Structure 1
Amino acid sequence: MVELFELEPEEVTAEANLFEDLDLDSIDAVDLVVFLQNKTDTNFEAEMFKSVRTVQDVVDAVVKLEAESSEIA
């Protein structure tokens, strides 16, 4: 996230709110989803990311998707 959104490393904490603390907007959110899809080779459903608000929420969503993906394989 530091490189993708040109943030300071100390700003990106687990409890940081993506929109309020990190000043991301809806286009940034789409960029983040696309970036994560490319990095994980997983297709994310938009529904899963509607409730994502913090950096920790992003981590939890990716971990959950990775776990579901490996169960299917």
Structure 2
Amino acid sequence: MEREKIVAVANDFLINEFEVDGDEISNDANFKKTLGLDSLDYIDLVVVIESNFGVKLGEADFKNIVTFDDFYTVIENKITEKSL
């Protein structure tokens, strides 16, 4: 899957399912601060990512996510790993 498609799909579910203001989403914006998710929201996020991309993110994956660009990269890398 191309990165542009990953970004579009991810932003769509972040805006529609997690009620994130689309204007606050940018590659260098702080992911956790912008989303303001609690632990249950992260579980929902894992489920939504899996249903949209067919990959599962774990706790270790989220520890490395600081910006939205990091978030997209983690998803992109998981998709690439899965296809190998």
Same fold per superposition (TM over 0.5): yes
Q: Using the alignment, how far apart are the partners of 2:82 and 2:68 within structure 1?
A: 21
Task: Within 5 Å, give how 1:19-58 maps onto structure 2.
Answer: 19-58=32-71
Q: TM-score, normalised by structure 2?
A: 0.69
Say what the alpha-carbon RMSD is for the aligned residues: 1.7
Q: Using the alignment, how far apart are the partners of 1:45 and 1:3 within structure 2?
A: 22
CA contact (8 A) 1:37 1:43 kept: yes
Q: TM-score, normalised by structure 1?
A: 0.77
Q: Which has the higher contact order (CA 8 A, sep 6+)?
A: 2
| Greater C-alpha Rg | 1
Alignment identity in percent? Answer: 28
Q: 1:13-66: CA deviations, max 9, x gaps? A: 111212223323333222222110111122333322222122111100000001
Structure 1 segments (4+ residues) deviating >4 Å: none
